[in-house]
Chains A and B, each alone.
Chain A
Amino acid sequence: MGELDVLKKEAETLKTQIETARKAVNDTTMEAASSGVAPAPRIQPKARRTLKGHTAKIYALYWALDNKLMVSGSQDGKLLVWDTHAGILANCVPLKSAWVMTVSFSPSAGLVASGGLDNMCTIVNISGEKPKTMRELDGHDGYVACSRFLSETSILTASGDQTCGLWDLETGKQKQSFLNHVGDCMCVALAEDQNTFISGACDSQAKLWDIRDGQCKQSFIGHTGDINAISYMPNGQAFITGSDDCTLRMFDMRADQEVMCYQNAQPTAGVTSLSLSLSGRLLFAGYDDFNCNIWDSLKGEKIGVLSGHDNRVSCTGIPSDGMCVSTGSWDSFLKIWN
């Protein structure tokens, strides 16, 4: 047998080995294990604010750590920064490219990052009198679908070129590349200690990465469609993904497998976005069918709906104090609920 055949055989053996090892620890389901837990209350959050200002589809939003400012990005070519408590606009950042897919704040909220079909991640300083473009991170061969700051000088990106990248904002250069996905990378989430992160891609897989050495540590299978959204459970040991396959799934990193699937009785709409409440008990998921479903993350039951948008809910977010949930839509509005 040539080396190629030997390797192919080894690959198959290893895949079977992984599957067997996962089955060996699969002694229960999250649902069964939570049967003794009291059901979460049926909640009906009210829309407290409707933020009007964008003139086209909203694609992304992000909360600042002060739990007050929120930035949104729309294909009207603008990033809008909102004072959500007062319900007013705090800042407006015009973009060079209107095709925005992601927005985020740096920890100080002095910087905003945006990325999209221009294949770049643009960093703008908004702490001065006028917004000033600080860096244009050029290096991806595909769209930038998601960007997350590690600090004021470091940012992580997920790209349609099937890679994730870690960038040094002082030099504007990529410090590390993360190569293993075989589909467009759509979303990333950073671990609290920033030593690792998770990504979701159009290859239907989620992956866990070591930030420093660029190594993919674990791959999580289960979804049957593009993964559009990903978020850590607040205990840091599990994460939830949302997909075009109309489901959300919880994966536990130490059990190395899917432990729960959240699926509507009539699954017809893809999941665009997701956010977890402070304790992790409530899962808010935005769908293509204009709704945002509320799930009990432990028991896998749908316990509420946020309805009010006239088009697809493209993004959701919960501030770090867990005080509310915000939704952004193709109807050009943002809403704040609690």
Chain B
Amino acid sequence: MSSNSNLTNMRRLVEQLRLEASVERIKVSQAAAELQQYCLQNATKDALLVGVPTGSNPFREPRSCSLL
């Protein structure tokens, strides 16, 4: 019956909202600070950010190569 399913859906919705409302939240400033720290700490390992020396770039032939 559509009125029963409306009720069931509503009960589910309220239960879901109760769960989502109970989440513990941290401040955006704290989240931002931790994210920044992570990005900056790992920057030197990030090849796309800092570049890859030609010799160690698997997608690039090294300039000086020994020919057969």
Give chain A's interface residues, CB within 8 Å of chain B: 3-4, 7-8, 10-11, 14-15, 17-18, 21-22, 24-30, 33-34, 37, 40-41, 43, 45, 48-49, 68, 84-85, 180, 215-219, 233-235, 237-238, 252, 254-257, 259, 277-282, 297-298, 318, 321-325, 336, 338
In the complex, what residues of B have CB within 8 A of residue A254's CB? 25-26, 30-31
Q: Which residue of chain B has its CB nearest to the CB of A238?
A: B35
Q: Which residue of chain B has its CB nearest to the CB of A47?
A: B59
Nearest-Cβ distance from residue A308 to partner chain B, whole angstroms: 15
In the complex, what residues of B have CB within 8 A of residue A28's CB? 28-29, 32
Nearest-Cβ distance from residue A287 to partner chain B, whole angstroms: 19
Inter-chain CA distance A4–B21, complex, in Å, is: 20
> A25-B28, A254-B26, A257-B28 are known contacts. Are A324 and B48 too (CB-CB below 8 A)?
yes
Q: Which residue of chain B has its CB nearest to the CB of A34?
A: B36
B35 near A235: Cβ-Cβ < 8 Å: yes
In the complex, what residues of B have CB within 8 A of residue A277's CB? 46-49
Query: Is B67 among interface residues, defined by CB-CB distance under 8 A?
Result: no
From A11, A26, A234, A322, contact of B14 by CB (8 A):
A11
Inter-chain CA distance A84–B58, complex, in Å, is: 9
> A30-B32, A48-B59 are known contacts. Are A298 and B39 too (CB-CB below 8 A)?
yes
Inter-chain CA distance A41–B58, complex, in Å, is: 22
> A27-B29, A33-B32, A217-B19 are known contacts. Are A43 and B48 too (CB-CB below 8 A)?
yes
From B29, B31, B42, B49, contact of A238 by CB (8 A):
B31
Q: Which of B13-68 contact A (CB under 8 A)?
A: 13-14, 16-21, 23, 25-36, 38-43, 45-52, 57-60
Give chain B's interface residues, CB within 8 Å of chain A: 3, 6-7, 10-11, 13-14, 16-21, 23, 25-36, 38-43, 45-52, 57-60
Inter-chain CA distance A41–B50, complex, in Å, is: 8
Inter-chain CA distance A15–B35, complex, in Å, is: 28
A27 near B28: Cβ-Cβ < 8 Å: yes
Q: Which residue of chain B has its CB nearest to the CB of A323?
A: B47
Inter-chain CA distance A281–B3, complex, in Å, is: 50
Give the dominant DSSP class at B's interface.
Answer: helix
Nearest-Cβ distance from residue A259 to partner chain B, whole angstroms: 6
Inter-chain CA distance A233–B4, complex, in Å, is: 42
B49 near A27: Cβ-Cβ < 8 Å: no
In the complex, what residues of A have CB within 8 A of residue B10's CB? 4, 7-8, 11
In the complex, what residues of B have CB within 8 A of residue A17's CB? 21
A34 near B32: Cβ-Cβ < 8 Å: yes
In the complex, what residues of A have CB within 8 A of residue B38's CB? 233-235, 279-280
Q: List 13 A-B contacts (CB under 8 A).
A: A3-B7, A14-B17, A27-B29, A30-B28, A41-B50, A216-B16, A252-B28, A278-B45, A279-B39, A281-B39, A325-B48, A338-B47, A338-B60
In the complex, what residues of A have CB within 8 A of residue B51's CB? 43
B11 near A7: Cβ-Cβ < 8 Å: yes
Nearest-Cβ distance from residue B61 to partner chain A, whole angstroms: 10
Other A-B pairs beyond A4-B3, A281-B43, 11, CB < 8 Å: A4-B7, A4-B10, A14-B18, A24-B25, A29-B28, A49-B59, A234-B42, A238-B35, A252-B28, A254-B25, A322-B47
B42 near A280: Cβ-Cβ < 8 Å: yes
